[in-house]
Amino acid sequence: MGGKYLTISEFHLEGQFLGFLGDSSREYKYLRLAIASGEVQLKLPKQLRAYLGANLQPGELLQVFGLSKLNTHTGKIKFKVYGVKPLGVCPNQKNPQQTKAKILVCQKSGCRKRGGKGLLSKLEKILCERGLQDKVTIEQTGCLKCCNSAPNCVLQLGQKEFKKVHPEAIASLLENHLISSLD
């Protein structure tokens, strides 16, 4: 028998950068990219991790190049990146530093195992559906010290913090905050 992975083809994807999976810029192993058919996670080579971690902002449009490989044992496809080209910021997305609201989502192993990855995806999807993605910064964090109620996220609106809140409720709280700040 041959190796475990079989190279299928090269890929060229264009999409919106959603963030990384990993605890720090040196440990960012996967780049999360929103494309027309959904979200993909692309494995980054070690030599690109720190550079991209310091230079990419969520919301940027990217062109990503790489190889797709098939795991012959499991039948799963793995995407390995060999190049990333920034194309600019999505026209309907403002600079994340200008937002006043922030959502912290724990990505430590305990929270990830208990649904943290799904929580993050669902939160991003709901915010995008309601047109709120440019009103809030989503930050993947380390432990939020609430391990018993994992997966954990915290919504920060000005001086207020909301913990243990469902993604739908976060979107509603954010909408109410934005409406009240206009008055």
pLDDT of residue 100: 65
* Cα–Cα distance for residue pair 172/71, rounded to 1 Å: 42
pLDDT of residue 91: 52
Under the banding of pLDDT at 50, 70 and 90, the label for residue 121 is confident
Question: Which domains does the chain show, CATH number per domain?
Answer: 5-89 (2.40.50.140), 101-180 (3.40.30.10)
Q: How far is residue 47 from each of residues 25, 52, 78, 164, measured CA to CA in Å?
A: 11, 9, 18, 37
Instruction: Tell me the pTM.
Output: 0.46
Kindly tell me the number of DSSP H helices and DSSP E strands found in the chain: 4, 9
pLDDT of residue 111: 86
Q: What is the pLDDT of residues 37-90, one digit of tens each?
A: 888 888 888 888 878 877 888 888 999 999 888 888 888 888 888 888 888 765
pLDDT of residue 90: 54
Residue 103: pLDDT above 70?
yes
Strand partners for 169: none
Top pLDDT among 53 and 3 is at: 53
Q: What is the maximum alpha-carbon separation in the chain?
A: 69
Instruction: Report, as an integer, the average pLDDT of 153-162.
Output: 82
Residue 183: pLDDT above 70?
no
Least reliable range by pLDDT among 19-28, 34-43, 57-66, 130-139: 19-28
pLDDT of residue 63: 92
What is the separation, in whole angstroms, between the first and last Cα of the chain?
A: 69
